[in-house]
């Protein structure tokens, strides 16, 4: 089963390309102190908004900081936001979905109505409203993106639980007197993890996009901490004179999100080729 997965995964060129992008991003994030050519926060007012050159491959920003160095450090920021936010979403989503699917009846009805209500809110509105109250900071946006993004996972896990809970191995566990807690977390949940893994990979992509949009609007990661989104804010402010501030960070976001999407779809197709459209 496992070797089947790897066989199918490695044969899927797009999935491997996605995995390479994701691994490269990890490497860049962990090595950023060593590979970034300049200090990302070093201000050089004699060298403001200079276009890409040999000294500054991606140019400099409105304070003379090296854009490439800021982007390298920004990679770590978006990775952190993507993973923590998705972790929160999975934690909340999986537990609620497990409880709803396992217990059914009114518990299920209450949880699923709550999901319906949450889905009525344009998620960007909800995120902005909470940020307005809690002060924008990298921790707050991670939490808020996570807490507004768990509904899809709840639906997935619930559906898995409904079909799994009648299976023989669950009946057997119940027969030998296993507690509900044990059945849910030790017996059923590991079997529902495949769909969660796919949703999580795609979720990281979504969280990175949301973070960059928030930072772009000035309510996400706060300067001077570099993030791809807040470099783009400078790009907008200098739109008619400094195209490089707009082009490169956006490309980085595009490639990153593309990488996670390809990886996620690759994992899904390799786990179960029948799911392929």
Closer CB to other proteins, 164 or 217, in the complex: 217
* Element housing 190 (H / E): helix 189-216
Closest approach of other proteins to the CB of residue 218, in Å: 8
Please measure the distance between the N-terminal and C-terminal CA atoms of the chain and give it in whole angstroms: 21
Tokens read off for 75: 């990679």
Closer CB to other proteins, 5 or 114, in the complex: 114
Do you find a cis peptide bond into 146, omega within 30 degrees of 0? no
Closest approach of other proteins to the CB of residue 171, in Å: 32
Which are the contacts of 100, defined by CB distance < 8 A and separation ≥ 6?
A: 107, 108, 111, 112, 154, 158, 161
Which residues of the shown chain bind other proteins in the complex (CB under 8 A)? 113-114, 116-126, 128-134, 205, 209, 212-213, 216-219, 232, 235-236, 239-240, 243, 246-247, 249-250, 253-254, 257-258, 261-262, 277
Torsion on CA atoms 214, 220, 222, 224, rounded to nearest 10: -50
Closest approach of other proteins to the CB of residue 95, in Å: 19
Helix (H, G, I), strand (E, B) or coil at 66: strand
Closer CB to other proteins, 68 or 253, in the complex: 253
* Element housing 105 (H / E): helix 105-120
Closest approach of other proteins to the CB of residue 29, in Å: 19
Closest approach of other proteins to the CB of residue 45, in Å: 25
Closer CB to other proteins, 40 or 249, in the complex: 249
Residue whose token pair is 């800021």? 70
Closer CB to other proteins, 33 or 122, in the complex: 122
Torsion on CA atoms 103, 106, 107, 113, rounded to nearest 10: 130
Closer CB to other proteins, 130 or 178, in the complex: 130
Per this entry, what is the length of the chain? 277
Cross-strand pairs, 60: 66
Closest approach of other proteins to the CB of residue 257, in Å: 4
């Amino acid at each position: 089963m496992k070797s089947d997965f790897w066989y199918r995964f490695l044969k899927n060129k797009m999935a491997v390309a996605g995995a390479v992008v994701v691994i490269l991003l990890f490497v860049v994030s962990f090595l950023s102190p060593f590979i970034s050519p300049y200090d990302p926060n070093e201000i050089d007012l004699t060298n403001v908004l200079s276009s890409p050159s040999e000294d500054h491959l991606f140019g400099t920003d409105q304070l003379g900081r090296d854009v490439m160095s800021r982007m390298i450090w920004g990679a770590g920021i978006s990775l952190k936001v993507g993973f923590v936010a998705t972790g929160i979403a999975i934690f909340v989503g999986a537990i609620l979905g497990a409880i709803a699917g396992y217990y059914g009846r009114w518990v299920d009805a209450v949880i699923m109505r709550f999901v319906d209500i949450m889905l009525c809110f344009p998620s960007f509105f909800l995120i902005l409203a909470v940020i307005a109250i809690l002060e924008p900071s990298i921790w707050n946006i991670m939490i808020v993106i996570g807490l507004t993004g768990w509904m899809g996972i709840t639906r997935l896990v619930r559906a898995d639980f409904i079909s799994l809970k009648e299976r023989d191995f669950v009946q057997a566990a119940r027969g030998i007197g296993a507690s509900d807690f044990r059945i849910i977390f030790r017996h059923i949940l590991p079997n529902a993890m495949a769909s969660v893994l796919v949703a999580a990979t795609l979720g990281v992509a979504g969280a990175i996009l949301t973070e960059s949009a928030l930072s772009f609007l000035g309510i996400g990661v706060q300067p001077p901490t570099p993030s791809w989104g807040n470099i783009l804010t400078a790009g907008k402010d200098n739109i008619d004179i400094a195209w490089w501030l707009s082009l490169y960070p956006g490309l980085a976001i595009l490639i990153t999100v593309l990488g996670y999407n390809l990886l996620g779809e690759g994992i899904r197709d390799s786990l179960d080729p029948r799911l392929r459209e």
